[in-house]
Structure 1
Amino acid sequence: MDTLEAMAMFVRVVERGSFSAVARELGTTQPTVSKQIGALEQRLGGRLIARSTRQLSLTDEGQRYYQQCRDILAAVDNAEHSFQTGREGVAGPLRIASSVSFGRLQIAPRLREFVQRYPQVTIDLRLSDQNVDLVGEGIDAAIRIGELKDSTLIARQIGLTRRLTVASPEYLKRHPAPQEPADLARHNCILFNLLARFDTWTFDAGLHQVQVQGNVRSNNSEAIRQMVLSGLGISLSPSWLYGEDLDAGRVVQVLTGYTPSALPIHAVSPPNRRQSARVRAFVDFLAQAFAADQGLACADPF
């Protein structure tokens, strides 16, 4: 039995929560995975996993061993990476996750340039308005907007989403435009409910905070845009969502004397996993692309 291989398989079983899922991932059978874990337990002289018909759970010893295995595997991976630095080519599959609107409008249009630069990389772009399980879904890197909730992720800020307070001319004909942030409390506000404090809008670095409410909310930016265009209410939304609409007069920026708080854009990867050359190349590429875009650039993206 190769101890490192057995440890890696044990870690995958814990993270996937299933022998059969790991078997499918590795292209082998469930009995083979179970046998390998059993051999590891026999070598250690104790149970790592308490098996039941419904779920797998770690024993106390298994929990400690799992944490130690992750550290050991990460150290081995880092040692190999240190040796191979400068020799690893930018090639192979790359699975990227993003929200639907940002992925469609800001990532997908830039992929042609990336694959022209790195033709041996194949990209699988996964779009969802829910934060996916990076480990469970096999995601190499996810692009996330807003403050990060999971502090264990490997994260790098690569940009900023600047926001505008907007409404349609039709809505403003029926409702006087707000003159200061406090006026928003008397308006129908369309809320983006994936943010931690989606019903508190902040301006001028926290100098103004207002509790807002409305009769519609959504987890998709483009759906909110359509609601704004229809005259339903006021939205605090990314500036990149309304560029053409502002130019055409389909929406109007309100509260122009007050600056909404921007949201950080991070590239995140699973913990204890070395970033491959293709992941680093893609994150560097996006950081450089966003730095050249006034609506997405941050002060120090590198």
Structure 2
Amino acid sequence: MRNPVDKLNAMAIFVRVVERGSFSAVAREMRTSQPTISKVLKALETELGGKLIARSTRQLSLTDEGQRYYNECRQILAAVDAAEHSFQSGRERIAGHLRIGSSVSFGRLQIAPRLAEFLKRHPGIDIDLQLSDQNQDLVHEGLDVTFRIGELNDSGLIARHIGTTYRVTVAAPDYLKQHGQPRSPEELCGHNCLQFNLLNSQNLWVYESDAQRHEVRIKGNAQSNNSEAIREMVLGGLGIALSPVWLFSEDLKAGRVTAILPDYIAQSLPIHAVSPANRRQSARVKAFVDYMSQALHSAPELRPIR
């Protein structure tokens, strides 16, 4: 494998195997056979003089050396990609594999329904949508871009603000009938409030009214790391939630929940498209982020309730 082109190809295959977690998946991507992929990686390991991947019947896992080599390969391939892009002077084709990350609810309700139109516009792209309610490690999980709601803590990422999640305070009519309706944020202290516990300010609900800020420490007997689970709790009459408008938009229209505290504006959350800092943003990533930004800005459920 003395040929630099062959070495780069082997490195690219190794990276894809790590990101897909499957020899056969990469073989299908590259329209070749699984034995061919295995042969390339075995030759790479022989060249390096050590194991990169610890193979088992159930999954692939990296050796310590393999993890370090993977990180280096990502940077090298990104540099090669950037050099080619510079040479091509903007003639890059919008095509290839695009691995996207998102929280479960946002991905299911706001990204997945929009993929058909995007792929219709760019048929040369294939998408792998990875959903998790934990903050995803972009490099380790091989993500090209992920969508995050809320303030960003990691300054070592490339982030673009593409929208805003407006929030609404909601409860089921049965809950309000039984416990009464709070008329001010301070009255929430006497209610069962449901916490989405992945936000830094999970038990601090912030509102504004007439230029006055209201901060309330809420409490309740249930919480979750999944916003759709919070929605089911609200629909079941368990308590009050401060949640994205887009999560309850259909329920509000149908009267399954009631928006309360209409005179108080709940603190909104930014939506960012986030990419690894050590990788040039490809044309396909830029095209998808542009598409999602436009879609979110025009979506009725991404607007505040008046």
State the partner residue of 1:144.
148
Q: Secondary structure of 1:224's partner?
A: helix
Where structure 1 has 5 or more consecutive residues not aligned to the other structure, the ranges are 39-53
Compute the TM-score of the two structures, normalised by the length of structure 1.
Answer: 0.78
Q: Deviations over 1:52-109 (max 9, x none)?
A: xx99669xxxx9x999998776555433222224311111121111111111111111
State the partner residue of 1:243.
249
Q: Deviations over 1:247-269 (max 9, x none)?
A: 22111111111111111111111
- Matched residues in 2 for 1:152 and 1:11: separation? 24
Distance 1:206 1:271, change over 3 A: farther
Whether the aligned pair in 2 keeps the contact of 1:6 and 1:37 (CA below 8 Å) is no
Question: Superposed, which structure 2 residues align to 1:155-194 within 5 Å?
Answer: 155-194=159-198
Question: Superposed, which structure 2 residues align to 1:219-258 within 5 Å?
Answer: 219-258=225-264
State the partner residue of 1:210.
216
- Matched residues in 1 for 2:76 and 2:228: separation? 44
State the partner residue of 2:127.
123
- Matched residues in 2 for 1:69 and 1:108: separation? 30
Whether the aligned pair in 1 keeps the contact of 2:249 and 2:301 (CA below 8 Å) is no
- Matched residues in 2 for 1:122 and 1:66: separation? 23
| Displacement after TM superposition at 1:201 (Å) | 0.9
- Matched residues in 2 for 1:135 and 1:125: separation? 15
Q: Deviations over 1:222-272 (max 9, x none)?
A: 111111011100000000111121122111111111111111111111221
- Partner of residue 293 from structure 2, selected from 272, 287, 300: 287
- Partner of residue 95 from structure 2, selected from 67, 75, 91: 91
Q: Name the % identity.
A: 54
Question: Superposed, which structure 2 residues align to 1:53-72 within 5 Å?
Answer: none
Amino acid at match of 1:101: S
Whether the aligned pair in 2 keeps the contact of 1:141 and 1:279 (CA below 8 Å) is yes
Whether the aligned pair in 2 keeps the contact of 1:165 and 1:237 (CA below 8 Å) is yes
- Matched residues in 2 for 1:139 and 1:206: separation? 41
Distance 1:5 1:273, change over 3 A: farther
Where structure 2 has 5 or more consecutive residues not aligned to the other structure, the ranges are 28-36, 50-60
Whether the aligned pair in 2 keeps the contact of 1:162 and 1:261 (CA below 8 Å) is yes
For these two proteins, the number of residue pairs brought into alignment is 280
Whether the aligned pair in 2 keeps the contact of 1:206 and 1:261 (CA below 8 Å) is no
Whether the aligned pair in 1 keeps the contact of 2:12 and 2:77 (CA below 8 Å) is no
Compute the TM-score of the two structures, normalised by the length of structure 2.
Answer: 0.77
Q: Secondary structure of 2:183's partner?
A: coil
Whether the aligned pair in 1 keeps the contact of 2:95 and 2:125 (CA below 8 Å) is yes
| Displacement after TM superposition at 1:294 (Å) | 4.3
